Chain A
C-alpha cells in the first residue's frame, strides 16, 4: 500500500495551508490566493531555473520550521525558498517586507523609461501593476537613464532593451522551448543586456513565446505593434487544429469586431501561459476563419485589461458641489443639450464592443 505523503503545514500572514514537501513559499501562497501572494517578476513556474533574481517576492520567514523555529536572518526570495513543516511567513503583515519591496520596485524603475503611453505592453504590464501596488509616487533618481537601441530579432519580434528588467525568462524559454538558443544575456552589471551579439533573427517555431513570458514591454509582437491598445480589444478563447505536436493550438484572440489583432497563449491569473503555442498560430493566423471561437476570455488579473466593464463603479466626489457647500452649480451650458454624442441616457457598459457613433444615433 502506498504510504500517504506527509503534508507540510505552513502559515503565511497567519493563514494556514498544507502543501506537499518541495513546494516553494510562493506556490504555497498561491494555493491560498488573494492579497497575500507575493508579486513575482522573474519567477515562472513553467520555466525551470527561473526566479530569485528580481527580489520582488521577498518575504520574512518568522519561524523556520517546527523542528528549528529560529527565524531566517534575512528576507528570502519566496519563489526559490521551499517550505518546511511548521514554517511561518510574513508577507503583507511585515512592514519590513513592504519596505524592502518598495525599494526593489524603485530599483526596477530606476532605469525604466516609463514610456507606457507608447508601449504596447501597457495595460497588461506586470511592472505597471507592481509599481501601482508597491511603488512610490515619485522617483529620487536624478541621473540619465540607461538607453539602448531597439532591435528587430526577426521580422516578428522587437526587442526594446531599455524597458527590460533582466528577468531572464526569455532566455530560459529559448533554452527550454527551442533546439538552439541564439539570444542570451550579454555584458555585466548595469550594462547587462539581452541580445544576440551579432545581430540575427531568432528563427524557431516557438520563439514567439518569449513575447508572452516577458513581464514588461521589452519583447513585443511586431505584427501587433501600435495596432491597438490592449484594453480596446476583446479577448476570446479560440482553438485550431495545429499540426505542430508541441503546440496546444489553444489561444486567446484579441479582437475588435471581426478583426483578429493579435494571438497570444492563454494566461492564468499570475500572467503565466497555460500552454505554449507555436509561431504559426501566433503570427500567421489572423483570420477569424482560422479559428474555432469558444467564447469570451475572463482576464483575472488586476491590470487594466481586466477593468473593461464599468458597472458598479463608485463615482468620484463632486468637488464643485463640495466647494459650493452642497449647492448645485448653476450650469451656463449643459453639454448634452448641444452634443450629438455625449448622451447621458446611454450606458456605455451596455454597448457591445467598442462604442461607435451608430450607438449614439440610435434613438
Chain B
C-alpha cells in the first residue's frame, strides 16, 4: 500500500559567487505516503536550501526530483506553479497571511486558484479545515487582528485547503512560544495520525524532531542518517 510521494535523486547545489561553495552534495532519499518526516541539522547545513528545492520553488540544482513519481522540469514555471498549488502545502516560519483579506479568504485563496470546486464549496471546505484546527470562530476576522499562534494555525489551514500530497514546513514553530509550538506539533501529529497526511518539516529543535516518525539528519550538505 505504501507509495512514494517524493524522491530526491543525487541532488547537488553549489554557489559560484565569489568562489565555488558546495551547499548540497549528492542528496538521495524518498518519502512514502503517510510518513511524518523531520529534517534536522545545524544552522547552515543546507536543510532549508534542500526544502526549497524539494518544494519546486528553487530550480537551480543538479540531479532530479520526483513528486508523485513525476519528474519536475526546471524550466516550466507555469507547470511548477500548478504542482505547488495542487500537491504541496506550505507552512513557513513566518505566517505570510495577506492583510487585505480575512482569515477565511486567506485559507480559500489557493483553493480558488485550483479552480476545482465552486466558490461555495471552497468556502465550505475552508470552514471544515478551520474547524479541525479549532479556529473557525476567527473566520471573518481580518488576518492582522489575530494572535501569532492563531496566524500559524490559519497558515496550516491554508496549506491543507487543496488536500495536498505533502505538507512542507520550514521551522513552523520557530517564531512561536512553547505553548503554541506544542499546539502546532500536536496538530501535525493529528494530521499524520488521523488523516494519514504526509509531512516534511525542517527544524533545528531536537525535541520537535524526536516526536516525528522519521528523522533525516544533515551535516555540511550531506545526509548522515
Co-complex (A, B) = no
